[in-house]
A and B are shown apart, each in its own frame.
Chain A
Amino acid sequence: MEFEKMQKIWDQQNERTVYAFDEEQLFNKVVKKQSSISKMVGCFEWTAILTFIGLAGFSFIEGINKAEYYQLPLSLLFIGLAVYMFRDRHQRLALLNSDTKTVKASVEHAITTLSYQIRRQKNIKWWFFIPLSLVAIYQNYFAETPMLWKTLLALTLMAGLYWLTQREIRCKFLPKRKELESIRELID
């Protein structure tokens, strides 16, 4: 069939309504879902930031008042985590407000974002789990009544969480990035 005939078939869609969809229902569903997700994410971020700041303050005051100076590095760690979360939120919002002009740019942007996420999660042991584990061991060492089981429980939980984050990279992020890269090859 010649292309011109295909064009005529295609143009039938413009002459009369051969489709219809309930845009009201679609609108309600999308807006409701996305607004609630957005609020939830924002709420989680601010809760985490304020919690870390609170914990930092608490550790600092406790450390000074009770002369438990081992609490002070913990306080610094919590401040660091609060700053990191705040920066992360700022980057997420910047990403939301960025515009990629073409499909190819959108694919590149998605690959870059995913690569950043993969790198961050691969390094999570350095900036999160190991510091927290050291703090847990450090606190137990200096505590008046050391409770080894609590420390071991905390370490086991962190090891489990670390395994889950690495699994997410293997099962979700890496295949997704591979898909996007194959799309990019198709475009080029």
Chain B
Amino acid sequence: MEIAGESAIKMQENQRRMLFKQWLTEHKGLLFKVARSFSREPSDHDDLLQEISIQLWNAMPGFRGEAKVSTWIYKVALFAAITWSRKETKHTSTTQSLDDADVFLTSSEASKNDSLNWLYAQIRQLNEIDRSLTLLMLDGYSYEEMSQILGISQSNVGVKISRVKLKLASLSEEK
């Protein structure tokens, strides 16, 4: 359930914790999709999920309630993921023991869905902005909303979306 208009300015610590926990629960699907789209390995998913959550926590005092919570969280998550992905080559996740890693992902059902895995693999081949647009498009956001989240004009969104669809179609044909 959306908590539209909830302003986080000058919120008390307890209130902030409650709201943060609520947002993590209500929007975990969104966070999971972004994490999976911007990282390859399961341990990288955890790393990125944590990074997004940290950015979300730090950004909360600045939330003015002018946008929908889900839109605002998408913006924060995409920004965190885009900047994180630039450092992705520095992560040597394959050598890290799972005993040491913080493992937040608890379900392995995602890994059993081959068509979904394939789709995420195609999405990961796009550049960061096209990836963001793809996520927003697949999640049913309008051009106007995408424009508001990313900060580009609607016409620019339209042009990029056309290119993304062509790119995805050609990637699927290669497969």
Determine which residue in A17, A30, A186 has the highest number of CB atoms from chain B within 10 A of its CB, and name it. A30
Q: Which residues of chain A come closer than 8 Å to B141, judged between CB atoms?
A: none
A7 within 8 A of B: yes
Instruction: Give the nearest-CB partner of A98 in chain B.
Output: B62
A106 engages B75 (CB within 8 Å): yes
- B contact face: mostly helix, strand, loop, or mixed: helix
Contact at A31–B57, with CB atoms within 8 Å?
A: yes
Cβ of B49 within 8 Å of any chain A Cβ, yes or no, is yes
A183 pairs with B83, CB closer than 8 A: yes
Query: How many residues on B have C-beta within 8 angstroms of the other chain's C-beta atoms?
Result: 63
With A13-B33, A101-B67 in contact, do A27 and B106 touch (Cβ < 8 Å)?
Answer: no
B40 contacts the other chain (Cβ, under 8 Å)?
A: no
Decide: A31 and B104 in contact? CB cutoff 8 A.
Answer: no
B107/A17 in contact, CB under 8 A:
yes
Indicate if the CB atoms of A21 and B79 lie closer than 8 Å: no
Asked whether, in the complex, the Cβ of A180 is within 8 Å of the Cβ of B83, the reply is yes
Q: Pull 28 A–B residue pairs with CB atoms less than 8 Å apart, ordered by A.
A: A1-B172, A6-B119, A12-B116, A13-B33, A13-B116, A19-B28, A19-B110, A21-B32, A21-B107, A22-B104, A22-B106, A23-B28, A26-B49, A29-B102, A31-B17, A34-B54, A97-B61, A101-B66, A101-B75, A101-B148, A103-B75, A103-B78, A103-B82, A104-B150, A183-B82, A183-B86, A186-B128, A186-B129
Interface residues, chain B, with chain A CB atoms under 8 Å away: 9, 13, 17, 20-21, 24-25, 28-29, 31-33, 36, 49-50, 53-54, 57-59, 61-64, 66-67, 75-76, 78-79, 82-83, 86-87, 102-107, 109-110, 113, 115-116, 118-119, 127-129, 132, 138-139, 148-152, 165, 168-169, 172-173
